Chain A
Amino acid sequence: MSNDATPSIARPGLADRLLRRGPLEATATMIIAAGVVMLMQPFSLTLYSWSFATTLFGTVMFTIVSKVRE
């Protein structure tokens, strides 16, 4: 009869690892930065047109995820 005394440690799943404040804030920061670059770049009017939506999305995301647990 085997008697395994080692306590089983539950490994955090992918969702648990990703849905934390750090990575989510980093993602939101990247989206905001992309929005600002799109607003000011001189190459594509289409990118400029989508810049506000991108920055707004990043800003709202940052505001929400800054309340997520660490």
Chain B
Amino acid sequence: MVRPGVARRIRGLSDRALAWLFITPTIVLLLAINIFPLLWTIYLSFTNYRANRANVPMIWLGADWYQSILTDPDIWAAMQVTAHFVIWTVVIETVLGFGLAYLIDKKFRGHGMWTTIILLPMMLSPAVVGNFWTFLYQPQIGLFNYVVAFFTGRPASSFQMLGDVTLSPWAIVIVDAWMWTPYVMLICLAGLRSIPDYIYEAAEVDRASKWRQFWSITLPMALPFIMLAVLFRGIENFKMFDMVNLLTGGGPGSTTEVASITLKRAAFESWRTGYSSAFAIILFVTVFGLANIYVKALNKVKSR
């Protein structure tokens, strides 16, 4: 129960003051959880700070860590591993996702049930998916090797998806595509369902073939949605950590060491906090830049 004195004081406040009163806790929380750690990370990226030696006085290094990261061939290699992962997952997910959306949009008998089945992988936690696929990829007992053996005739135990230098980058691509193709399908389906029927009817009147309708109506009108899916999956996979960490941990060697795994190793295995802060800022700026493009694309889709 509000005391009469407090109630009188609240009643005396203007709408604007009341609004501030309500949003202040949220702003304070936002500053404490998001803005302060970001500013602190930027500060640490210019110092020699190590989290396991917190008592050692910090020395200001300027842009030394940035210079070191941006001339390091190992970090460059990690960025290329990330690029391989991002490009292939986005290409596979977009092609399969759009194809599935195109089929589901035809509203055949039982399409609702198939949509639910296709969406199942997306609903699982990446930790569960990582463990689940680790078992599927087991060379001795894993189902994946048996399926490949069935179709190719190679012995099931003759190859290791997660232990082979050539195959492991593709192993993580397969898992990500399996998990996130349904998401791309959903976005593409929204795009396909937003195309008015009268455009197809007009095309039918003009005797346009199905192929022509696809290239001249379906694809151009669904393109903003496809771009949205590409950008979103690109940003998400650029930051990918959990699934790769569970499946391969960056190995064998450093063949699947994506940028976030390199960052984790520098921060929590080598304890080079200043260095890893600089690397985190480089990744943050990249993601922030891509997010700007994403928001622009999103606004374009919304304005349709």
Q: Which residues of A come within 8 Å of B, CB atoms?
A: 25, 28-29, 32-33, 35-36, 39-42, 45, 48-49, 51-52, 55-56, 58-59, 62-63, 66
Q: How far in angstroms is the closest Cβ of chain B from A65?
A: 10
Q: How far in angstroms is the closest Cβ of chain B from A62?
A: 5
User: Which of chain B's residues have a CB closer than 8 A to the CB of A40?
Assistant: 79-80, 82-83, 86
The A interface, classified by DSSP as helix, strand, loop or mixed, is helix
User: A45 and B76 in contact (CB under 8 A), knowing A29-B296, A40-B82, A52-B66?
Assistant: yes
Q: Is the CB of B293 within 8 A of A32?
A: yes
Interface centre among A33, A40, A45 (most CB of B within 10 A): A40
Q: Is the CB of B296 within 8 A of A51?
A: no
B70 contacts A by Cβ under 8 Å: yes
B116 contacts A by Cβ under 8 Å: no
Between-chain CB contacts (< 8 Å), 21 pairs: A29-B292, A29-B293, A29-B296, A32-B289, A33-B293, A35-B289, A40-B79, A40-B86, A41-B83, A42-B80, A42-B83, A45-B73, A48-B79, A49-B70, A51-B70, A55-B289, A56-B289, A59-B288, A59-B289, A62-B289, A66-B292
Q: Complex formed: what's the CA distance from A35 to B238 in Å?
A: 14
B2 contacts A by Cβ under 8 Å: no
User: Which of chain A's residues have a CB closer than 8 A to the CB of B70?
Assistant: 48-49, 51-52
User: Which of chain B's residues have a CB closer than 8 A to the CB of A35?
Assistant: 286, 289
Q: Is the CB of B71 within 8 A of A55?
A: no
Contact among A41, A45, A56 for B71, CB-based, below 8 A? A45
Q: Complex formed: what's the CA distance from A46 to B71 in Å?
A: 8
User: Which of chain B's residues have a CB closer than 8 A to the CB of A52?
Assistant: 66, 70, 282, 285-286
User: Which of chain B's residues have a CB closer than 8 A to the CB of A45?
Assistant: 71, 73, 76
Q: Complex formed: what's the CA distance from A58 to B66 in Å?
A: 18
- Nearest 7 interchain pairs by C-beta: A40-B83, A32-B289, A59-B289, A49-B70, A62-B292, A42-B80, A55-B289
Interface 0/1 of B269-295, CB less than 8 Å to A: 000000000000010011011101100
Q: Is the CB of B76 within 8 A of A32?
A: no
Q: Complex formed: what's the CA distance from A39 to B287 in Å?
A: 12
Q: How far in angstroms is the closest Cβ of chain A from B186?
A: 25
Q: How far in angstroms is the closest Cβ of chain A from B300?
A: 11
Q: Is the CB of B285 within 8 A of A59?
A: yes
Q: Which of chain B's residues has its CB closest to A51's CB? A: B70
Q: Which of chain B's residues has its CB closest to A54's CB? A: B289
User: Which of chain A's residues have a CB closer than 8 A to the CB of B83?
Assistant: 40-42
User: Which of chain A's residues have a CB closer than 8 A to the CB of B79?
Assistant: 39-40, 48
Q: Complex formed: what's the CA distance from A39 to B80 in Å?
A: 8
Q: Complex formed: what's the CA distance from A49 to B83 in Å?
A: 16
Q: Is the CB of B76 within 8 A of A48?
A: yes
Q: Complex formed: what's the CA distance from A28 to B76 in Å?
A: 24
Interface 0/1 of B225-253, CB less than 8 Å to A: 00000000000000000000000000000
Q: Is the CB of A36 within 8 A of B290?
A: yes
User: Which of chain A's residues have a CB closer than 8 A to the CB of B285?
Assistant: 52, 55-56, 59
Q: How far in angstroms is the closest Cβ of chain A from B165?
A: 17
User: Which of chain A's residues have a CB closer than 8 A to the CB of B66?
Assistant: 52
Contact among A55, A62, A66 for B286, CB-based, below 8 A? A55
Q: How far in angstroms is the closest Cβ of chain A from B78?
A: 10
User: A49 and B290 in contact (CB under 8 A), knowing A40-B79, A40-B80, A40-B83?
Assistant: no
User: Which of chain B's residues have a CB closer than 8 A to the CB of A51?
Assistant: 70
Identify 16 new A-B residue pairs, CB closer than 8 A, beyond the known A41-B83, A55-B286, A66-B292: A29-B292, A32-B293, A36-B286, A36-B290, A40-B82, A40-B86, A42-B83, A45-B76, A49-B71, A52-B70, A52-B286, A56-B285, A56-B289, A58-B289, A59-B289, A59-B292
